[in-house]
Amino acid sequence: MDVQELSSRFESWVTETSKAVLGQEETIEAVLIALLANGHVLIEGVPGLGKTLLARTLSRVLGLEHKRIQFTPDLMPSDVSGGNVYHQKEDRFVFIPGPVFTNLLLADEINRAPAKTQSALLEAMQDRSVSTDGETRQLPDPYVVIATQNPVESQGTYPLPEAQLDRFLAKVHVGHPTSAVEQQLLRGYASGFDASDLDSAGVSVQSDADEIRAMKRVLSTVQVGDELIHYMTQIVAQSRTHRAVYLGASPRGAISLLTAGRARAASQGRTFVVPDDVKALAPSVLRHRLILHPDAEIEGVTADDVISEILTQTQVPRTAA
């Protein structure tokens, strides 16, 4: 497989997913880029915007197994990772895998569970493994977590720990659809579309795990010039020194910017990363990694405002490869 074939497959994924998930092309592409870049996505939005449907549709299109965890205040870490249960007939303890053992995990309303339960995902997200009772078990490849989050001001939510936020490659905001998209949505339901039955939308399998692993290997051939590396490090460095920022992006943020840039370039059929890839990805890759000063938040400054200012002030390299 080469970059051109990867780009063609990527386009077919977006097209097929868009049959059921209307008006969310940006979110679809963000999740697919994260999958290719071996990362995870945090989607923030109010309930009812199709976040669960997105995960189900992507699992169908990609030919991957998917599971869903509904995070609640009483959810325990073992409900996520699994645990050993005594088997009476065999007179021994048997490990029962939790829902984290899958290819595509939907962590629904992740910020409705306390930090102890949220932390159960940390090892899975970072190392693609789960350790219980002294034994480490590997998770399937590919493995991607799509976590949904209600806005922090919603009732009964907990802010995600900084360590967990940093494990997400990207954070995407999902808003209400436009009037035109919502009309198209209603016409679909009037014509018999059922969100629980993807066959009614004509969604078909377009890939499988083996092909996705091959596509991920292709990304290593996408070139990132020294000028682009300098550009990325300048952006990340400025996020740490900006007057409105208390804590800037970590080195993991810079690595995420590079890997996502490679995935975006390949998805567009290019064998090299260009500055536009960095500009397009910087908001989603960095926004959840910045902690603003309280004074800046009171003034209404957002992480996106800071990133926009940094991109404006950072000199763009003239060469891309």
For the chain, the structural domain boundaries read 3-74+101-215, 222-313
pLDDT at 153: 62
Sign of CA dihedral 101, 106, 108, 113: positive
- Taking Cα atoms as reference points, which of 81, 69, 141, 142 lies closest to residue 109? 69
Q: What's the mean pLDDT in 8-32?
A: 91
Q: Of the given ranges (38-42, 90-94, 268-272), which has the lowest mean pLDDT?
A: 90-94
- Summarised one tens digit per residue, pLDDT across range 21-37 is 888 888 899 999 999 99
> 167 near 125, Cβ under 8 Å?
yes
pLDDT at 320: 45
pLDDT at 154: 63
pLDDT cut 70: percent of the chain above it: 98
The rounded mean pLDDT for the chain is: 89
Q: What is the pTM of this model?
A: 0.90
Q: Is the pLDDT of residue 273 over 90?
A: yes
The span from the CA of 158 to the CA of 156, in Å, is 7
Q: What's the mean pLDDT in 198-224?
A: 90
Q: Of the given ranges (129-143, 216-230, 280-294, 302-316), which has the lowest mean pLDDT?
A: 129-143
pLDDT at 135: 84
pLDDT at 23: 85
pLDDT at 208: 92
Other Cβ atoms closer than 10 A to 212 = 22
CATH fold, domain 3-74+101-215, is: Rossmann fold (3.40.50)
- Taking Cα atoms as reference points, which of 146, 168, 154 lies closest to residue 21? 146
Q: Is the pLDDT of residue 191 over 90?
A: no
Q: Is 209 exposed, middle or buried, given 0-12, 13-18 or 19+ CB atoms closer than 10 A? A: middle
Q: Of the given ranges (11-15, 81-85, 141-145, 268-272), which has the lowest mean pLDDT?
A: 81-85
- Summarised one tens digit per residue, pLDDT across range 106-160 is 998 888 888 778 778 888 888 898 887 778 889 999 999 999 887 766 666 777 8
- Taking Cα atoms as reference points, which of 36, 35, 29, 30 lies closest to residue 11? 29
pLDDT at 149: 86
CATH superfamily of 222-313: Magnesium chelatase subunit I, C-Terminal domain (1.10.8.80)
Strands (E), 45-123: 66-70, 82-87, 92-97, 104-108
pLDDT cut 90: percent of the chain above it: 55
> 260 near 285, Cβ under 8 Å?
yes
Q: Is the pLDDT of residue 274 over 60?
A: yes
Both structure tokens of 122: 């940390």
- Taking Cα atoms as reference points, which of 269, 271, 276, 270 lies closest to residue 10? 269
